[in-house]
Amino acid sequence: MADVATREFLARLEALYPEQDDGVVSPWSLVAATAFSSSNLPEAVPEVFKYALEGLKTHEQRLLLARKLRDALFKSGMLSGFPKAINALGQLHTAVPTELRDVKPLRDVSKPVETLTEKGQEYFDRTYGETAATVQPFLREICPDFEFFSTTFAYGYTYSFFDAVSPAETSFTMVAALIANDTPRQVDWHLRGSVRNGATLDEVKAVRQIAIEVAQASGVKWKNDVPNIHE
């Protein structure tokens, strides 16, 4: 089903996102790549990369695109599952030229656990806003190990690295993965989190629509309505 990711379809997805300044790597591509991955259509991911690459002129822009897609897929694995992330990253790797590949981690892997927990708490609080006071105790109550892992390693190590994917784009990644997952409660959390992390309502609505259209084209069937975000 890689033929789902036609140039016409990708152009439509690109047009859904608010127009960016010349040379800016538009978030539409990481949203589409994540949505294809979560929809279990990893073979479409290289097509997103190749299409988006055409609009970039400098090595720095092209490297940033490759890093954005890699990191978005890595981050999305916390939600859609690492098997899907591995498959999507493997497909992406086949399309990325050698000069745009990384050979060592972008993150500082020497940071102590305490630092990761602190960073994770900061981004968790920023993402959830006033609801953090209820969501985090809920996670701790249902499974203390899960809450620790979520704060320290999901939010601290994985999500709180912003050199490639910004705080708002990280929320976009979550939304795209969760929509294909058919998990409306979490979709609602992270639509709101996108705004808290700096996105405009128009951007969040575009991300939602891109993720829905990719999932639909990939054959996803929902049991639940996809939440929307309002003024």
Residue type (1 letter), 1? M
In a domain, 231, yes or no: no
> For the segment 138-196, what is each residue's pLDDT rounded down to a tens digit?
999 999 999 999 999 999 999 999 999 999 999 999 999 999 999 999 999 999 999 99
> For the segment 93-118, what is each residue's pLDDT rounded down to a tens digit?
999 999 999 999 999 999 999 999 99
Closest CA to 149 of 112, 116, 105: 116
Same domain for 117 and 82, yes or no, is no
39: left (phi over 0), alpha (psi -120 to 50) or beta: alpha
What is the per-residue burial (b if ≥16 Cβ within 10 Å, else e) of 173-192? Answer: bbbbbbbbbeebebbbbbbb
pLDDT at 23: 80
Q: Could you tell me the residue range of the domain that residue 118 belongs to?
A: 111-160
In a domain, 139, yes or no: yes
Domains of the chain: total: 2
Same domain for 93 and 123, yes or no, is no
pLDDT at 2: 61
Angle formed by the axes of helices 184-196 and 167-181, to 10°? 170
pLDDT at 98: 98
Same domain for 140 and 173, yes or no, is no
Same domain for 91 and 22, yes or no, is yes
Euclidean distance between the first and the last CA atom of the chain, given in angstroms as a whole number = 37
